[in-house]
Each structure stands twice: as C-alpha cells, then as structure tokens.
Amino acid sequence: MSYILGVDGGNTKTIALVAQLDGRIIGAGRSGCSDLYGATSVEEAIAALEQAVQSALREAGLQSKSLTSAAFSLAGADWPEDFDLLQKAVEQKGFGRTRLVVNDALGALRAGSPDGLGVSVACGTGAAVGARAPDGRFWHSSFWQFHHGSGHLGHKTLEAICRAELGIDPPTKLTAHALEILGQPNVEAVLHSIMARKAQTSAKKLTRVLLDEAGHGDLTAKRIVQEHGAALGDYALAAARQVGLEGAPFTLVLAGGVLCHPSQFLADCLIERVRTKSPEVRTIYSRFEPVVGALFLALEAAGQVIDEALLSRLVPTLPPMSLFETE
C-alpha cells in the first residue's frame, strides 16, 4: 500500500500527518519550531521537522521508505536558497519518493480553498499571505510581509495600555482586561512581566485582550484592530494582483487563531478592505488545519483527486484538536 506525508512547519509548532492513498490518516506527530528564521539554528529547525515526521511514522507503524509522496508547507521557505536547503534536507532523510516544498501560505490556501485557487490570509503566531491563479501563477508574501501576527498585535496592545496609563491617550478597557488576564496588580507590573530581563510572559497573551475589547466596542481596541485588518487586506489585494486575480470573484481563505476569534471584527475589517478592489470576493473560513493542505498537495502529487469521497474517509480520521492547539 502507498502512504502519503503532509507537514506544516512554523514558529510555534510543526505538525506531520501520514495517510493512506485513499485519504485515511493513520499517524500524526508534533514538534517545535521548524522555521529556518525562527529556530536557534538551521540544524534545530531540520531536527524539529524530522521529529514531527518520525513521530507520525511511529504512530502509523511505518518507516520513511514506505512514503510515496510528501509535501512540506513551511514557514521560512522564502528565498531560493531556503528551498534548496529544505529540499536537500528532506531528500537526505528519505521522506517520500517525490517531495514538494512550498511556503506555508500556500499550504494554508490549499487547506481552505476547494480547488486550491484564490488568496489565503493566515494570522496566528505570524502572518502569511498566499495566492494561486488558474493559470498556475502563485505568490506568497514571505519576505515581503513584516510583523502582522499575534506578537505584533500584543505589542500594539501593550503600547496602547501604556499610553493610556500615562495620560497620553484616553482611558481604555484594555487596561483592566490585561491586568485580569496576566494576573498583575498594575500596568508597571505588566510591563515588568513582559519586558524585564527575566520576563515571565509574552505580549502575545494580550492579543486575545485586544480582540475581546474590540468586539465589545472599546474605541482604542477597535482602532488598532481596524488598522491591522486593513493592513492584512492590503497584502491580500497585493497577492491577488501578483497573480492576476484582483477585481475577479476569487476565493479568500481566512485561517489562523487570530482571524478566527469569536468577534470576527478583525476578519470583517480585512474583508472590507479587500472588497474595495475586489467586491465579488468569496470568503471562506478554512475548514481544515494548514497541515491538511500539505496532505492534499501530497495526495495530488500521487495522482489523487481531492473529492467528497476522499474527504469522507479523511475527515473521520483527523487527529484531535489538542494536537493543533497553541497559546
């Protein structure tokens, strides 16, 4: 029997899935950061990639030589030399007889778009935008896009709290919510917990505070989220433009924990900006985790069609959501 491997690698975690050719998932593995630019070294990034794959293979009761095709959707697959390095690494490890390495934005697009075409915006620990057109053209933001993930939002929230505390800006409900979430008595203690030499926490924890309060109508929070959503929308439009989709009724895939916050205010701001240039855009919240997009790419490389019959076998075998959870 032939077996397929799909891997999604990022700054927070790396997930690997092993499946049969008919789509049934039989093994899953997780490790840490496999981003070439986020890990402490290239060697550690590759080690994390291998750890996730080997964990999935062990659960499946297989060895790497059993893999027919493999697809790796990776943060840090940005420049040509990155692709060369990663391609050689997975070849040396023997992960699949055919191997595809793509930027993680394209894995997220394949996970969410029914036909793998359109534009994807993933916003979680980091942010990634990708696009693919019917004529085969594709583009991903990678080195073009700077800080638009939860860390960036967390620091903007922290700055807003500080400005309000110092009387530079009006008071905001962000302050009380941040104190509650972080368990600190005052703003100075919050700053110490995040910025001191022996910091105890991360500003990323404040992202939920920001999105909660924006949904509840706090003016400061709404302003920050509106600006962030518009910026993400600008990159989505740029991606569409690069592959000739701007103005067309393309599919816009939204993915990542930040965009899937219950208030949907950030997503609404993003969609509003995209519709200024592409009013007929069709928005989809991704049904699957990005690693499933990598698995789809591997299945397609093996000649399989991603249809309802295949999905009916794949979906019941998906790993529990606990495998994918991040802070």
Residue 219 has pLDDT above 80, yes or no: yes
In Å, the largest CA–CA distance within the chain is 67
pLDDT at 289 over 70: yes
Provide the pLDDT confidence category of residue 108 given band limits of 50, 70 and 90: very high
Predicted pLDDT of residue 1? 74
Q: What is the mean pLDDT of residues 287-298?
A: 96
The single-letter code of the amino acid at 60 is A
Write out pLDDT tens, residues 113-159: 999 999 999 998 888 999 999 999 999 999 898 778 888 999 999 99
Q: What ranges do the domains of the chain cover?
A: 3-114+288-323
Condensed to tens digits (0 to 9), the pLDDT of residues 3-28 reads: 999 999 988 899 999 999 999 999 99
Evaluate whether 81 touches 111 at the Cβ level (below 8 Å): no
pLDDT tens digits along 184-200: 999 999 999 999 998 88
Q: Which of 6, 3, 20 is nearest to 317 (CA)?
A: 20
The percentage of the chain sitting over the pLDDT mark of 90, rounded to a whole number, equals: 89
- Give residue 149's pLDDT: 86
CATH number for the segment(s) 3-114+288-323: 3.30.420.40
Question: What is the side-by-side order of every strand in the sheet holding 118-123?
Answer: 138-140, 127-132, 118-123, 251-255, 282-285
Angle at 313 between CA 50 and CA 117, to 5 degrees: 70
Question: pTM to 2 decimals?
Answer: 0.90
Q: What is the DSSP string of 184-230?
A: -SSHHHHHHHHHSTT--S-GGGHHHHHHHHHHTT-HHHHHHHHHHHH
Helix (H, G, I), strand (E, B) or coil at 282: strand
Whole-number pLDDT of residue 213: 97
Q: Has residue 327 got a pLDDT over 70? A: no
Q: CA geometry: angle at 175 spanning 256 and 186, to 5°?
A: 120
**Which whole-number Å values give the CA distances from 108 to 9, 27, 130, 160, 207, in the listed order?**
11, 20, 8, 31, 21
